[in-house]
Amino acid sequence: MKRKLMAAIGVATLAVGATACGTDDNGNGGSGSGGNTDSITVWLMDGSAPDAWIEELNAAFEEEHGVSVNVETQEWNGIQEKITTALSEDGTVDVLEIGNTQTVGFAGTGGLADLGEFEGEAWNATMLESATVDDTLYALPWYGANRVVVYDKGIWEEAGAEVPTTREEWIEALELIEENTDAEPIYLPGQSYYVMGGFVADEGGAFAVQEGEEWAGALNTPEAEAGMEFYARLQEFSNSPTDNDEASPQQSTEVVPQGDVASWIGLGWEVGGAIAAIEEQGDEADFGYFPVPGKTADQLGHVFLGGSNLAVSERAGDQDLAKEWLRMATSQEWAQKFVDENNGGVVPNRTDVTASPEEDTFAAAMVQSAEVGYLPPLTTGWANVEVVPNPIKDLMTKVLNGEDYTAAAEEADAEITTRINRD
């Protein structure tokens, strides 16, 4: 039976604290020994959870169940291969954090335990869909995150620019900055394709569409072309090359701190990195934040909604205890504590949990945008599209360099269609 992914939200990139509690002797993860009658092993990604939350949660779990919890911190780089290996072995890991788009792939290999007993909880509906394959629940939502516009308050004040509520007001603000200051109005790499995808979604388009049992690239459409056209309008205000993305160089630590950048589009962990880098130079960051504007004032722009799920290994050393830890960690009580520890800076996994961030913060802008999050194509083959060379990134560079959109889109769609239907 063809696997059906109900939804996929994506790998979260919001760092919300450093995880150090209960690591192995090396302090950086390692293979671990899995669960047994005395302990369970939990893999969490670096920066995913505040120390205080982990420590308090594990103390409560250990008191209730009489077993210790060994938390091993993992790095995102290379995690796909590491999890694949762990899920093929007995007792390596009991509970593990996985990016939302990874869930369907790991479930398809038989590596994740059925979590049907958790159905019916007050889960965030969109996040829950990312963990459901063939109507079976293989993971539980943990948190979500999305991008917002970060701006330098001093530069915007100097330019006489105001926070925009529409796309056109956004362009007008960038024009004022260009005319009245020496700053780069916006740093926008040529290949930030998830940012561009939000503009495509604003127009009602998508990277790919499902046609029966197959998928097809959908960039050669009026909607996708309109989204790319607006991206190009923004990119004209940037000094960035057209053939790089936000990670090469890292925009938050290698670009923003090095010059007068009036604004950029980023995630929470990037803001933290930028502030730290600026302070290391002896300066002080003065950032403001606003959601990506939409075409009209009554509709914010779409943003890619990232996130992480928590799952239980099918070959866990103690699957029952693993599920009990999962039950506690994702409960209303502990989910609310998780949001509170992060100062409201994550999208909650449950409808009975509230995020109330302080005004004029990244978190406040992010939570506003969460309601208009968009998703990548909902299939395991999407991972094949994102590998190098990414055809969407290639299209963006070609168009920004003046090549014909239709010809570039036809070529990209052919490659997307081939890759996305590949197992």
The enclosing domain of 49 has a CATH number of 3.40.190.10
Judging by beta carbons within 10 Å of its beta carbon (0-12, 13-18, 19+), is residue 81 exposed, middle or buried?
A: exposed
- Residue 299, helix vs strand vs coil: strand
For residue 33, what pLDDT is reported? 44
| Stated length of the chain | 423
Do residues 273 and 416 share a domain?
A: yes
The residues, ordered by sequence, that sit 6+ positions from 391 with a Cβ below 8 Å of its Cβ are 217, 385, 411, 412, 415, 416, 419
Do residues 265 and 385 share a domain?
A: yes
Do residues 244 and 321 share a domain?
A: no
Q: Is residue 54 part of a domain?
A: yes
Longest dimension (CA), the chain: 68
Distance in angstroms (rounded) separating the CA atoms of residues 68 and 39 = 5
Q: Is residue 120 part of a domain?
A: yes
Q: Is residue 382 part of a domain?
A: yes
The pTM assigned to this predicted structure is 0.80
For residue 234, what pLDDT is reported? 98
Please give the tally of structural domains in the chain. Answer: 2
Do residues 262 and 408 share a domain?
A: yes
Contact assessment for residue 194 and residue 373, using Cβ atoms and an 8 Å cutoff: no
Spatial CA neighbour of 8 closest among 112, 144, 118, 123: 144
Do residues 176 and 260 share a domain?
A: yes
For residue 37, what pLDDT is reported? 65
Percent of the chain with pLDDT over 70: 91
Per the listing, tokens 């072309």 go with: 225
How many beta carbons lie within 10 A of that of residue 227, not counting itself?
25
Do residues 360 and 416 share a domain?
A: no
Q: Is residue 351 part of a domain?
A: yes
Distance in angstroms (rounded) separating the CA atoms of residues 304 and 321 = 34
3-state secondary structure 78-147: CHHHHHHHHHCCCCCCCEEEEEHHHHHHHHHCCCECCCHHHCCCCECHHHHHCCEECCEECCEEEEEECC
The structure tokens listed for 102 are 């990874």
Q: Is residue 3 part of a domain?
A: no
Helix ranges, 166-212 (H): 167-180, 193-202
Distance in angstroms (rounded) separating the CA atoms of residues 94 and 100 = 18
Pairing of strands 68-74, 39-45: parallel
Contact assessment for residue 419 and residue 385, using Cβ atoms and an 8 Å cutoff: yes
Q: Is residue 228 part of a domain?
A: yes
Q: Is residue 194 part of a domain?
A: yes
Distance in angstroms (rounded) separating the CA atoms of residues 264 and 262 = 7
For residue 286, what pLDDT is reported? 96
Residue range of the domain that includes 347: 39-146+305-366
Residues of the chain with pLDDT under 70: 1-37, 378
Q: Is residue 34 part of a domain?
A: no
Please say whether the dihedral angle defined by the alpha carbons of residues 360, 264, 387 and 381, taken in this order, is positive or negative: positive
DSSP 230-275: HHHHHHTT--S-SS--TBTTBIIIIIGGGS-B-EEEE-HHHHHHHH
